[in-house]
Amino acid sequence: MSEHPEHPERPGRGAYSEKDVLREVTELEGKSATAARLFDIRRIIGGLFVIYGVIVTIAGLTDDDAAIDKAEGVNINLWTGLGMLLLGLFFLAWLKLRPIAPPPDVVVEDDSTQ
């Protein structure tokens, strides 16, 4: 077997050039950065807190007197829901104000033009 196996998408070429390797690495770094931005934990936490905050706030607005008396006169669902809503909005604002920095662009010179 040869030291550099042929690439299945490029039949007839034996070894990779540094330019090919650099291009492949750059493409993978770009895909990785896109995935990191998509699955940023601030987006997930903020979105869940906003959704649950809206649900608990609605539950607090529709509580009857028996539920409020059970919590010693405090509408705990309303206050908890508003707190969750504010925390979720904080995470989403943080994501908007300080996004993940994109990876630096690497320029690959093409030797075929010479």
What is the full per-residue pLDDT of the chain (114 aa) written as tens digits? 555 555 555 555 557 788 888 888 777 777 666 666 667 888 999 999 999 999 999 999 999 999 899 989 999 999 999 999 999 999 999 988 887 766 555 555 555 555
> Of 79, 55, 52, nearest to 68 (Cα)?
79
Amino acid 52: pLDDT: 98
> Of 6, 96, 84, 92, nearest to 51 (Cα)?
84
Amino acid 25: pLDDT: 79
Q: For the chain, how are helix, strand and coil distributed in percent, rounded to 5? A: 65, 0, 35
Amino acid 16: pLDDT: 77
